[in-house]
Structure 1
Amino acid sequence: MFTPSYHDGVIKDLIDGIPESDFDVQLEGQVEIIGWLYQYYNEEPHNAVVNINGGTVKTNDIPAATQLFTTDWVVRYMVDNSLGKYYLERNAHSELGTHLEFLLPDSLEMVSDDLDVTQIKVIDNAMGSGHILVYAFDVLMKMYAEQGYSSREASSLILENNLFGLEIDKRAYQLAYFALMMKAREYNRRALTSNISPKVYVFEDTSNINDNYFESLPVSESNIQDLKYIVSLFYDSRTLGSIIQIDKPVKTGNLRTVLTNIPQDTSLDLNNTREITYQLLRLLDIVETMQNKYEAVITNPPYLNKMNKVLKEYVKTHYKDYSSDLFSVFIWHNINMTVTNGYAAYMTPFVWMFIKSYENLRKSILNTKLISSLIQMEYSAFEEATVPINTFVLKNSSTSENGVYIKLSDFKGGMDVQKVKTLEAIENPDVDYLYRTNQSNFNKIPGSPIAYWASDNLLQDFEIGQQMDTLVEPRVGLQTGDNSLFLRQWFEVSYDKIKFDAKDISESVSSNKKWFPYNKGGSYRKWYGNYDYVVNWENDGQAIKNFKFPNGKQRSVVRNPNYYFREAITWSLITSGGFSIRYRSAGSIHDVSGMSAFSSSHDKLMNILGLMNTPIGNHVFKMLNPTINLQIGDFNSFPVLDKAIDNPEINEKVTGAVAISKNDWDSFETSWNFKMHPLIRHIDEHNRNWNGFPTQNHCNVPNLSQIFFSEDNYG
């Protein structure tokens, strides 16, 4: 409660800061306002949950952690290209397409011309505040109008037959219910006094229902067993929600009749029979909804990988191949809720398209479903989430149609810019960021990334070229367990205690040195450099090898030690500045961020280094994995043609590039090989006023710059 002020504060901000159209019922304003207000209502608990370090998300925190309001134009794209497209394929003379602003340009495969609009079922099984369902309501109204229904009749039939929703958050469910009722009220002034209600439901745990309830029921044993089965399925339903699998058909109509006919004792209800019966009747609505098949399943699923024990075990048991994140579970679950040739639409992080942990999901989709269309957004476009986003539509069909893809990664400026560019592509399909391709091409690339922009020539290179791991040996390295304890920058320790030139493990063992060069990746740099760190590898890494947690579990991980101290080519795990690769001379230990590839052939390393540092290297890696983490598996998948392997001319140019880059690196005091500052390197010897090897400062660095610019030398 607060005293309202129209001159400053929240009311003034609402009036002045939000366009009037956002409140306009005709422009979806009421839904936008409800959705955004609820998201920002949850902002503080959302931030608290998603920023926990290493912990899992508790059941009560899942709604706050996973609810993100879906931008309006993305909702329209998803509905237009699933529900809208399904209808158009079955109504040859329909004018609906002229009203679907975000229907992508694509040829329609006509199926039939006799679709009864009352038979179309649409569900959002993570509905939030109902934004998707409300827009679907409007699209359905246009379908009903085409088939001759009045607005009043159509609005009631839509709630009765067409729209369904599921949610784990009771408050969000209430908002969705309210929004749909207001939408019905828009077309039918008597909607609020009718007996028709939206078929949207909220999950309830059944942990409160025990055997005492069933012992008092005057029903058959088979019915009791069916009810117990449902109770067991939904024991943790506020945690599991829509991904619950119903393994055997449940006759909901029969059970509803049984529960409705249970005598209601008006005396003292010790077993709470009356309330539990009502709860089970509500649960039967959910069971029936989950057993249906749908023409369109449309949702912005929850993004969650910090699963609690109950959720994690369920996902591993029922969705093992798709268990990397909750959104990937929804992707597979939802497409299998559709009828044959039905559509499932999503907005999700785009990592499923590329990285290895989603490879099983990709292959399942590519082998049995169809990617009908997809829009890949610019990396940071969706400010509400800390992940890059895509939106796409799958068809429950294994036909060989080409998919339509829009690549918006070059257009920065947020979701408004992404919307404008999408509409431009719809208006002019010849833009260079709209692609049409057959998804069978993706299987030609190792890992089957959804690389829809790959040219025919590059696809052929993947088919005939050798994979990188057949030419060199990429290996992950040391994980100390505590870098602050075991790593130092080289100038932070005594220069005399560093072993700079160990060629193999045996030299490190026999050495009396404590510190050894450590390849930790580093910033964007080509050819040579990033010699910054040293690691405590005294006595063959004894301290690191014995480093454990208080419970005795090993904390450090010593991977591939037989590759330590060998020459290599190396790149950084984090590639936010673009891909760059460097030559690393013998003498270093590499870690998990300083990704490295080895070969007994120096010339082969040089040739591969030259290939990878061309624009082709960055182009291919952005195709294999456009995230900022370039893994060993991505490197392994790079195709190499024979003519790029043994080429003396390339070798000579690469060797020269490495030498230039090394000279640049060693020109500054941050290099342990620093000898002379570039500014004084070309001064004739007879004009130099220092003698012998320069002194070193407290950081063990030759003090030439201090000598050169000292007060004594200004005369």
Structure 2
Amino acid sequence: MTVLTDTERKGLEKSVLDAHRKAEAGAFNALNYLGVEADKKPFHLSDAEAELRRRLRSEMRRLGSYDVLISSVAYEQWHRMLFARFLLENDLLIHPKFKVPVSFSDITEIADEKGSEAWEVAAEFASHMLPGIFRQDDPFLMVKFSPEDRIALQGVLDGISSESFLAEDALGWTYQFWQSEKKKEVNDSERKIEGYDICAVTQLFTEPYMVKFLLENTLGAWWLSLHPDSGLKSEWEFYRSEVEHDFSGWPSYINELKILDPCCGSGHFLVRAFHMLLSMRREKGEENEAAISAIISKNLHGLELDPRCIQIATFALALEAWKEGFSPTDSYLPVPNLACTGIPIKAEKDDWLKLAGGDGMLESALENYYDLFKNADSLGSLIQLDNQSSSGTDKHSSVNQTLIDQKTLMEKLEQALKKETAAGDPVAETFGETANAIMKAAHLLNCKYDYVVTNVPYLTRGKQSDILKDFCESNYPLSKNDIATVFLERCLSFTSIRGKVSIVLPQNWLFQPRYENIRKKLIKSEKWDILAKLGPGAFETISGEVVKAILMNIEHGSISNEHLLSGIDVSNRKNASDKAIGLLSDDIKKIQQIKQLENPSSLISFESLNKINLLGKYATCIEGLSTGDSDRFIKKYWEVYPKDKNWELFIQNVNENMNYGGRENILFWENGKGALQRFPNSHNFPSNTMNGFQVLGNKGLRITQMQNPKVTIYTGEIFGKSAGTLVLEDNSLLTAVLSYCNSDLFSKEVNIINQSLYKPVGTFLKVPFDLEYWQKVAAEKYPDGLPEPYSDDPTQWLFHGHPKPSESPLHVAVARLLGYRWLAETDTEMELSSEARDWIKESEKLLSFADDDGIVCIPSVRGEGRMDERVREVLKAAFGSEWSARHEEKMLADLGYVKKDGSLKGDLEKFLRDEFFKSHCKLFHNRPFIWHIWDGEKDGFSVLVNYHKLDRRNLERLIYSYLGPWISQQEREKADNKAGAEKRLVAAKELKRRLELILEGEAPYDIYIRWKPLHEQAVGWEPDINDGVRLNIRPFVEAEVLRSKITAIKWGKDRGKDAVPNCSGTVERHNDLHFTLEEKWKARKEAE
């Protein structure tokens, strides 16, 4: 099996993405020249061009938009060149007259003689072999690119290495790479997935090692069961002889073997199966072309939703057949048994129902089939014609249909489908033949197969359109949560009794609670031959933890209680190549399949799970609140000062184990009776008692629902998602549970039970817990009991406010100078340790240093001292006799204010002037409450302001009482010819102008809050502190008056959609909108 190397694959990806952009640019320019989008025909067009324009406009109407037309032209133009290059590189581009292979130099020479383009000649020659792909009358291919665009596209094609075109998997990769931008566009849109969007989002090219492992351990194992001494065994490197197999339900003769890939994509599984079957037939002495013809016509079958994909799969099979010696000139390759299941019917429903001839039950059955085929572009291979849905609850397969004569029903269905004359078959058309695509698909959908092998689409229920969601609910209620598990059931229904399914699936269904019933069903009813857990990094083209896959071979039919499942786990191996090695050599564990029913929730595990004394015996774990709009309802606690009664502490998750963390946020709660409770998308509201346990106001743990769970102590607050809140029946056990959950063992046990990235909260209750042991550990670790609430981190609401023990003393000192006080200082009811209370008392001694208006200039203005001197005074008071110049230097170094050699970049004044604001933004999660406003000159006007005090009056004070005197000072210095005064004066006046624009609030220097109606939007600088820093800081960013750019703050579209149209006139959550003062005043007047 020749496959692309990593280098070749990355090079091909780069080339295809470049080709996509260049092809669309070329298509846009060519269609623009033809005036396709224009209402009137351009005067410069010839008669032939005008006719082409007419045909293209007709295609545009069929496709639905001009953009789709551009994409279609780009696709056809590029793929004509690409497919021709595949034929050329494999010596398969045949001269139609002389019947010999030609090279590209031959093509170029012929093109020069004809006065044509080389790739047009190549396509002309190829059209005799595959007329459906190289159609000479295709309007998309008749479009002429400009010389510049054509040369650019040819340059991309020429840049792809010749070796890439010889690889068995290259064709499939080209289409996946072509689709990658479409996939991103659909995912970013957040729309429900339906129709051909399903193809773009769910197609994932199967790694060659996965294909080989599944096929060699099923198809290969079958051959070896018939021919134990076969020499092919040495070629099948992934074959594992220790796996138990039973092929009593398979045919003994290769001609009778029927294989199906119901999601065949670009044909990766089919191509590899083709080569294996050819080797088998050759080993038995079959003549080469007869063997190839039999494989194509009898053994291999494929279904696919995407018509382009099925065409590529057809080409891929033909290419491999020709490469293996089937003559492209002397013999006719059979049309492969491939069909596109994604072509919807066009007929009206009444035309179908008339075929029932008044038979009510037959009419009902035909109506059900009509609904299925009408939505074929969403349902594809899930359409089932044998009335045997896997879960048996579908209204379409009710008892009424069992009373209908099935032969009559099928005859009527065929009669209806034959009328779909417009539904051309992309497979037959590839070979220049005609067929009814829907009829062909229906035939393949209605067959049974000995072997079904596929990589299923992955699409969770929340992303499915209503059509797909309702279908899965009705037909596959046990597996409905992901189309992947739905397809597992569908694959089994395709399979004959004792036939087998090989499948690539996401692993989450093996352990997540929502799949418990489908696990139980399949454990009891199907024989699992082999299960390989791949874990993260199984796909070369997907980084990180996104897709964790399993490989599974399963036999359709009943099992014995003694059957042993063969399990192999390569999850801990880092990448695809390493996992492939693991599948070759790692030990296989034999597990009694039926025993999996005894595991918690019948989860699938290769380890023996101890069900005695699970953590759930002592505790419950609650999922947190989902607001449905976190940008609206959740703020960092330092954004709202002072915190009023509408806001409540809101604990979240931690990234590392710590006693007290996750305490950065507050929630707009309004005593549980406000906007959040009425918000349609909010759910999981906490209460005092949940699952029979006291929750709010109680102590417990917050356990992050991640790969390696992290833990912090919970103290009764309202809590959010991303971490489960674990509370105990007996709080005297809390230190023991805390000790366990902080251990590596806890993380290990959690991942044995659930290997997904995101752990459902119930997972934490299913781990074994040795109470006696962990009580001993806790007695040593926590001799004084549970630690009391305390933090030196200024981003935590528990922080006491004193610089000395703080993790960021300089930031704390600056904030105190500008009049900020921490939440713990002012909340007398907050539960805190005695140490924290002592530091709060010490902090009170620093209150006298706070500036009265929260405006402190870095240079001396209005007779106020320089800022660095004032900050230093705060630090001296905080540290007392311990303060020294070395302390100051260390603080600056700790903040990263150093050169490459480790020396400081400058002194405290320069840090405050140049880097404090950037450092402050980083520390406070890009929600700064100290803003650095300046005029752009390092020796110019520069001021730090307390955002909480920066109301309209204080902004005016900043402009006229601080900046004003500075301007006057520069005017005097200019008159005295002082160096730099004129430059500083110009900069200061410009800053004054910009601040006055913010004060006035005309767009684009306005505040916009997307959840407020227009008549409630601020007029001028009138910020509502409850709206948060992100939205209120926008006018200052637009005016470019802040010392550093805040690149991490975005004002684009937030995730999710509102239930009703908002101020933007849509349900989209747009933030980067501007309204004029006139519009706002008008809206206010209309609202009166």
Q: Name the TM-score class by shorter chain.
A: 0.7 to 0.9
Higher RCO, 1 vs 2 (CA within 8 Å, ≥6 residues apart): 1
Q: CA deviation at 1:649?
A: 5.6
Spell out the pairing of 1:36-435 with structure 2 (5 A cutoff). 36-53=173-190, 55-109=191-245, 115-185=252-322, 186-189=324-327, 193-194=331-332, 196-203=334-341, 204-208=343-347, 211-212=350-351, 231=370, 233-248=372-387, 251=407, 255=411, 282-305=437-460, 306-382=463-539, 384-385=541-542, 386-397=546-557, 398-399=559-560, 400-412=562-574, 414-419=575-580, 421-422=581-582, 425-426=583-584, 428-430=585-587, 434-435=588-589
**1:274–1:22 Cα change, 3 Å:** closer
Per-residue deviation, residues 651-685 of structure 1 (Å, max 9, x unmatched): 452456953x966x3376744245563499xxxxx
- Tell me what 2:792 maps to: 666
Mark the CA change 1:48 to 1:666 in structure 2 (over 3 Å): closer, same or farther: same
Does the aligned pair in 2 maintain the 1:668–1:677 contact within 8 Å?
no
For residue 845 of structure 2, what is the aligned residue in structure 1? 694
Instruction: Please give the alpha-carbon distance, in whole angstroms, between the structure 1 residues aligned to 2:878 and 2:654.
Output: 31
AA aligned to 2:667 is: V
Structure 2 CA distance for aligned equivalents of residues 250 and 536 of structure 1: 61
Show CA shifts across 1:320-345 (max 9, x none): 11111111110111123222332211
Q: Deviations over 1:176-198 (max 9, x none)?
A: 11222222333321588437211
Structure 1 residue 202: deviation in Å?
Answer: 1.1
1:603–1:132 CA distance, 2 compared to 1 (3 A): same
Please give the TM-score of this superposition, normalised by the length of structure 2: 0.54
- Cα offsets for 1:201-241 (capped at 9, x unmatched): 112222325555897999x9999999877545422222211
> 1:484, 1:213 → 2: CA distance?
51
Query: Which residue type is aligned with residue 144 of structure 1?
Result: R
* Cα deviation digits, residues 516-563 of structure 1 (max 9, x gap): 43211232223433332233445x333256433xxxx47455233344
In structure 2, distance between residues paired with 1:159 and 1:597: 58
**What secondary structure, in the 3-state scheme, does the structure 2 residue paired with 1:447 have?**
helix
Larger CA deviation: 31-40 vs 439-448:
439-448
1-side partners of 2:355 and 2:435: how far apart? 15
Aligned partners of 2:362 and 2:409 also within 8 Å? no
**2:700 maps to 1:569:** yes
Residues 384, 446 of structure 2: 8 Å contact kept: no
CA 479–49 in structure 1, closer or farther in 2 if over 3 Å, else same: closer
C-alpha distance in structure 2 between counterparts of 1:209 and 1:182, whole Å: 40
Cα distance in 2 between the residues matched to 1:60 and 1:478: 35
Alignment check: 8 A CA contact 2:695 2:727 kept: no
Using the alignment, how far apart are the partners of 2:306 and 2:450 within structure 1? 25
Structure 2: give runs of 5+ residues left out of the alignment. Answer: 1-143, 388-404, 426-433, 808-840, 855-870, 886-1088
Q: Which amino acid aligns with 2:466?
A: K
User: Which residue number corresponds to residue 507 of structure 1?
Assistant: none
Please point out which of 660, 665, 681 is paired with 1:528.
660
Structure 2 letter corresponding to 1:476: E
Counterpart in 1 of 2:750?
A: 621
5+ residue gaps, structure 1: 263-271, 499-512, 681-689
TM superposition score normalised by structure 1: 0.79
3-state DSSP class of the match of 2:273?
helix
Contact 1:467/1:637 (<8 A) preserved: yes
What is residue 612 of structure 1 aligned with on the other side?
Answer: 741
Q: Is residue 581 from structure 1 mapped to residue 708 from structure 2 by the alignment?
A: no
Selected match of 1:595 from 700, 724, 734 = 724
Q: Within 1, Cα distance between the matches of 2:538 and 2:753?
A: 21
The 1:514–1:711 alpha-carbon spacing in structure 2 relative to 1, beyond 3 Å, is farther
SS at match of 2:804: coil
How big is the shift at 1:37? 1.1
Contact 1:88 1:97 in 2 (8 A): yes
The 1:107–1:39 alpha-carbon spacing in structure 2 relative to 1, beyond 3 Å, is closer
Shift of residue 600 of structure 1? 4.8
| 8 Å Cα contact 1:479/1:559 also seen in 2 | no
- Helix, strand or coil for the counterpart of 2:210? helix
SS of residue in 2 equivalent to 1:579 = coil
What does residue 474 of structure 1 align with?
621
Question: The residue matched to 2:530 in structure 1 has which SS?
Answer: strand
2:349 & 2:710 partners in 1: Cα distance?
62
Aligned residue for 1:89, secondary structure, equals helix
1:487-521 C-alpha deviation (Å, 9 max, x unpaired): 333333446x57xxxxxxxxxxxxxx554432112
Instruction: Rate the CA distance shift 1:295–1:469 in 2: closer, same or farther, 3 A.
Output: same
* Deviation string, structure 1 residues 291-318 (Cα, Å, up to 9, x no partner): 3222211111111232222211111100
Counterpart residue identity of residue 846, structure 2: T
Checking the alignment, whether the CA contact within 8 Å between 1:252 and 1:288 is kept in structure 2 is no
Distance 1:649 1:284, change over 3 A: closer
Q: 1:547, 1:369 → 2: CA distance?
A: 47
The equivalent residue for 2:591 is 437
Shift of 1:281: 5.3
Quote how far apart the aligned CAs of 1:438 are: 2.9
Whether the 8 Å CA contact 1:132–1:298 is kept in 2: the answer is yes
- Cα distance, 1:285 vs. partner? 3.0
Give yes or no for contact 2:703–2:723 (8 Å, CA) kept in 1: yes
Please state whether the residue corresponding to 2:662 is helix, strand or coil: coil
**1:529–1:136: structure 2 CA closer, same or farther, 3 Å change rule?**
same
Q: Could you tell me whether the CA contact under 8 Å between 2:735 and 2:785 is conserved in 1?
A: no
Q: CA deviation at 1:354?
A: 2.2
Change (3 A) 1:657 1:95: farther
After superposition, what is the alpha-carbon deviation per residue over 1:352-371, rounded to whole angstroms, capped at 9, x for unaligned? 22222222222222222233
Bigger drift between 63-72 and 594-603 goes to 594-603
- 8 A contact 2:704–2:711 mirrored in 1: no
For the 8 Å contact 2:793–2:799, the answer to whether it is kept is no
Letter in 1 for 2:505: T
Cα contact 1:611–1:644 (8 A) shared by 2: no
Q: 1:648 to 1:189 in 2, by over 3 A?
A: closer
Aligned to 1:517: 649
Q: Contact 2:495 / 2:556 at 8 angstroms: preserved in 1?
A: yes
How many residue pairs get matched? 649
Cα distance change of structure 1 residues 489 and 335 upon mapping to structure 2, 3 Å threshold = same
